[in-house]
Amino acid sequence: MPFPLDKTSEEFIERHFRRRQFRWDEEYFASVLDHPRSKHDVYWASIGLRKVGTERSVPRLRALFTFPMKDVKCVSILTIAHVAGERATPIFCEALLDPKYPEKTYAMWAINDAADERAVPAVLEYFKRNRSKLRNGKLCNGTIGDGMQFLARFANSHPDVRNFFDGISEY
């Protein structure tokens, strides 16, 4: 299961919500996301859902892809990967290719850790769109490593992936 919640994070969450009637359940965190008192509420509730969230949380988390706080955008996609796994593959692909979702490193990380082979076309398209950045060494974030690692799993079963790797010198 990708992106599990560790003990330290659990303690931070409990400490953050200590002045409220805190409960470790999905409904509690959903209510925080619906009516946050601060941007930090949204951040910690998004992470807390990794422990108690189900696929019912996905639409609320997906809505956070446009949240003004960068960290919230990042943790929400990773929490979706944790609670929905490969069933959220279309969401990861959409985020990777959507110009309005700027956190491409996190989208690719979610793909590498949780997506199934339906993400292959989106990953190939991402690299195609960023060919000049790859060539010029200006795409030096986690998207390269995670994307290549993801594609490598399908090199023998997807001719498009094999062709991509064969033509990598062109990049």
The overall average pLDDT reported for the chain is: 93
The domains of the chain, with CATH numbers, are 7-170 (1.25.10)
Q: Tokens for 17, please give them.
A: 């919500």
User: 48-95, pLDDT tens digit by residue?
Assistant: 999 999 999 999 999 999 999 999 999 999 999 999 999 999 999 999
Other CB atoms within a 10 A radius of the CB of residue 33 amount to 22
User: 85-136, pLDDT tens digit by residue?
Assistant: 999 999 999 999 999 999 999 999 999 999 999 999 999 999 999 988 877 7
User: 148-159, pLDDT tens digit by residue?
Assistant: 999 999 999 999
Q: What residue type is assigned to position 119 of the chain?
A: A
Closest CA to 22 of 59, 1, 51: 51
Q: Tokens for 161, please give them.
A: 């992936």
Other CB atoms within a 10 A radius of the CB of residue 26 amount to 18
CA distance 84 to 103: 19
Q: Tokens for 158, please give them.
A: 């997807």
Q: Tokens for 147, please give them.
A: 């994307």
